[in-house]
């Protein structure tokens, strides 16, 4: 049984980030201990994994088992309820890795299947399923985007030299991994200084993708920088995505409309944009559920101090930059080690000459 759910999880993982705002879901139809159909949800608006797997299985679905990584939906959206398709197909048993935290489902799909005398077992490979869709689950519960901080640093914790040169701290393999992270997130966020210094593209390269992530730029006074933005790599590489510019709302009346640019006015206090307000507004006007932070120091520090970072992906290169280099954080101050919040569920991965340190933030900052 476990092996069939693992196959479903692997299928779902292939489309991670491509199905948003829907979760990544895989489904496997098994009869007489043999797989008769396997597939995954591939794009929002298209058939869900369960319905697609049942369609592929055809008549063989009658009396079979269905393994699915997330509770089947039971409501009408862009596609019909998967529970109806499961019942109509004559499935005998359904193995569900985890309940769907979406309030429209959240146990209702499981209950409907049981009401139609279909045996439902919940919890097989639950931890792996929750990790696969950690951003979707977080958004459904917390009602704000799941934020991952990604950075590349030297052994002494610098993200650039004193001349702001950062190309390249991480190696080629690490950079390719970063593009996989970009593919899996709905948006990439950076600050004005990093934009001006690096003129980044912030798009997915190296790996195939069906869509590009949105781009979020923190820029208190965008009117001053619009000419640079319109000729930047950030803007010229837009495809089926947008740039969301978070700015001080006092400048709203001076802004014009531009193709593929969405202005997000927020309050501005103590020299900083209101980040919780920004995330709330962005999630309200878009389908963004996950954000990858890509710099720089002030952005990392502001998000960290606001308690808005859920996950860390830190690439560490095997060299020193020196004390004049640009630090990862700007003004964190802790009087004692005991007061510093610790990351949990940490993991270390070797990527050629680099080391990837990953973990999760919990509790106060």
Torsion sign across C-alpha atoms 30, 31, 35, 37 = negative
Could you tell me which residues are beta bridge partners of residue 66? Answer: 29, 94
CA-to-CA distance for 242 and 150, rounded, in angstroms?
A: 21
3-state DSSP assignment of residue 261 = strand
- Nearest partner of 244 among 284, 271, 204, judged by Cα: 284
3-state DSSP assignment of residue 285 = helix
- For residue 58, give the DSSP letter: G
50 part of the active site: yes
Which of 2, 46, 50, 130 is catalytic? The answer is: 50
* Chain centre distance of CA 358: 15
DSSP secondary structure, 149-184, as one string: EEEEE-TTSEEE-TT---TTSS-HHHHHHHHHHHHH
CA-to-CA distance for 101 and 130, rounded, in angstroms?
A: 10
Q: Which residues participate in catalysis according to the annotation?
A: 50
């Amino acid at each position: 049984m476990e092996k069939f759910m693992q196959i479903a999880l692997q299928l779902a993982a292939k489309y991670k980030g491509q199905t948003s705002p829907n979760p990544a879901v895989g489904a496997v139809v098994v009869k007489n201990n043999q797989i008769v159909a396997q597939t995954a949800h591939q794009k929002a608006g298209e058939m869900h994994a369960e319905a697609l797997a049942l369609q592929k299985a055809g008549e063989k679905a009658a009396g079979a088992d269905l393994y699915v990584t997330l509770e089947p939906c039971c409501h009408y959206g862009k596609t019909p309820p998967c529970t109806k398709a499961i019942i109509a197909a004559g499935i005998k048993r359904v193995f569900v890795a985890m309940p769907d935290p979406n309030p429209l489902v959240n146990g209702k799909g499981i209950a409907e299947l049981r009401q139609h005398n279909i045996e439902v077992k919940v919890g097989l490979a639950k931890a792996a399923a929750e990790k696969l869709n950690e951003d979707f689950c977080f958004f459904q519960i917390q009602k704000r985007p799941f934020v991952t901080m990604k950075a590349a640093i030297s052994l002494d914790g610098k993200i650039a030299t004193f001349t702001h040169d950062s190309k390249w701290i991480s190696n080629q393999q690490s950079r390719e991994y970063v593009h996989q992270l970009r593919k899996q997130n709905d948006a990439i966020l950076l600050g004005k200084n990093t934009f001006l210094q690096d003129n980044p593209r912030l798009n997915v390269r190296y790996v195939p993708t069906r869509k590009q992530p949105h781009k979020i730029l923190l820029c208190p006074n965008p009117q001053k920088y619009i000419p640079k933005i319109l000729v930047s790599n950030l803007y010229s590489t837009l495809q089926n995505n947008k740039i969301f510019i978070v700015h001080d709302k006092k400048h709203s009346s001076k802004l014009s409309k531009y193709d593929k640019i969405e202005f997000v006015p927020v309050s501005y206090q103590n020299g900083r944009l209101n980040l919780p307000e920004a995330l709330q507004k962005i999630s309200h006007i878009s389908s963004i559920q996950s954000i990858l932070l890509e710099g720089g120091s002030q952005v990392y520090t502001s998000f960290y101090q606001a308690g808005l970072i859920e996950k860390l992906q830190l690439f560490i290169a095997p060299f020193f930059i020196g004390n004049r280099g640009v630090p990862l954080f700007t003004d964190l101050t802790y009087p004692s080690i005991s007061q510093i919040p610790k990351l949990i569920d940490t993991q270390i991965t070797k990527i050629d000459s680099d080391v990837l340190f990953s973990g999760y933030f919990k509790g106060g900052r």
